[in-house]
Amino acid sequence: MDKQSEQRREYLYSNLSNQLNRLKMNFEQLDKNMAVLKEQAELSQRLAISHASMFIGSKGVFENNSTKQDA
């Protein structure tokens, strides 16, 4: 191999190494983001259940209240 092709090869391998390191960092960040997303999804589910419970409870109260007022 001549010197120019060897330099080109080293450059390409160096570039590939940099890209693989960036990909690794991106996957690590993705893992962190997925952990946060999982936690947020669980909290959102709990909040939705809480809201549904309050809605169902308040519906019964309002229905009882309107029945008493009609009587």
The separation between the first and the last C-alpha atoms of the chain, rounded to the nearest angstrom, is: 100
- The total of other beta-carbon atoms located within 10 Å of residue 61's CB is 9
pLDDT over 90 for what percent of the chain? 70
pTM beyond 0.75: the answer is no
Tokens 């160096």 belong to residue: 14
In this predicted model, what pLDDT tens digit does every residue of 23-42 receive, in sequence order?
999 999 999 999 999 999 99
3-class DSSP state of 2: coil
